Amino acid sequence: MLNRLSIRSIFLPTLVGVALLASVGCQEVPVTGRNAINLVDDQDISKKAAEEFASIKKMQRASRNPAQIRIVEQIGRRLSKTVFWDVPHADWEFAVFHAPGVMNAFAMPGGKVGVFSGLIDFCENEDQLASVIAHEIAHVAARHTHEKYSQGWMLKPLGAATSIGIGTTIGGTGIYVPSVGSTAGGGVTAITQSAFDRGKELEADHIGLIYMAKAGYDPRQSLRLLQRMEEDIASKGGPTANGWLANHPSFPQRQIRINELMDEAMSHYEKGEVSRTHTVIE
């Protein structure tokens, strides 16, 4: 049974949250137009993310593969130009980490992006790699980390809000981490624990698909990559091995949604307003 104190401890933070919401407000998510709460100062979270990114770069081994660095820079240039008006204050930086077998990438508020070499090795072409990076950038543009913090704050007493560290949810979504045993893999797992719920993952798929198409990448390659990943996971004994699917929508769910959005994405792609590259990854 709830006594008066516990009722207060449940409702007071919510009331504080609602009051904050009214004063700080909502934001509209790019592409989907969804209204999301945002009680987080953009500069503040970007600064923390930049610090976190700097320490990740110290922990991870930087790639020395010029072809991999070039392809990620190329994708980064095209996507960051595409998303400019959705994330105008971002200071984009794209790091490539030498981590064979680690099929992962992440993006942080403020525009810090990390790509692991195992993902580049797995992709057949630039378009597939762009689909993953576009998905990660979509989380940033949609301010999913801001929203997650904002929701957390609404459920906590105000005093506790200041103690939420960015390190616990940074990065984000981790596409797929197959080699948890290695040094690189171990580090990566900590960084890329999925921070978002399935709804946000599907939203990032949607936004990312439109972004990649606008940047001149073939959106059909995103389906091809998902299919290949699904086959790869199945060949390695199923999705539960790494546990990452727990916070991600299933492959069929993602594929169905992406298929539904394909006409819209193709119409952006076929406009062909940008210079294109479709490097094949050997």
Region of 6-14, 31-39, 196-204, 221-229 interacting with Zn ion (CB under 5 A): 196-204
Q: Report the residue number, 71 or 204, with the smaller CB distance to Zn ion.
A: 204
| 201 lies in the site for Zn ion, by CB under 5 A | yes
| 173 lies in the site for Zn ion, by CB under 5 A | yes
| 204 lies in the site for Zn ion, by CB under 5 A | yes
CB of 275 to Zn ion, least distance (A): 28
Choose among 91, 102, 97, 103: nearest CA to 68. 97
Q: Report the residue number, 206 or 220, with the smaller CB distance to Zn ion.
A: 206
Q: Report the residue number, 46 or 131, with the smaller CB distance to Zn ion.
A: 131
Q: Report the residue number, 31 or 161, with the smaller CB distance to Zn ion.
A: 31
- The sign one gets for the Cα dihedral 74, 76, 77, 82 is positive
Q: How many residues bind Zn ion (CB under 5 A)?
A: 3
Helices (H), 83-216: 117-122, 126-141, 144-154, 158-161, 183-192, 198-214
Region of 54-62, 72-80, 103-111, 201-209 interacting with Zn ion (CB under 5 A): 201-209
CB of 204 to Zn ion, least distance (A): 4
Cβ neighbours around 243 below 10 Å, total? 13
Burial 257-279 (b: 16+ CB within 10 A, else e): bbeebbeebeebbeeeeeeebee
Distance CA(274)–CA(269), nearest Å, equals 9
Q: Report the residue number, 172 or 216, with the smaller CB distance to Zn ion.
A: 172
Region of 10-18, 126-134, 199-207, 256-264 interacting with Zn ion (CB under 5 A): 199-207
Distance CA(234)–CA(26), nearest Å, equals 41
Residue with tokens 């990649």: 212
Q: Which residues bind Zn ion (CB under 5 A)?
A: 173, 201, 204
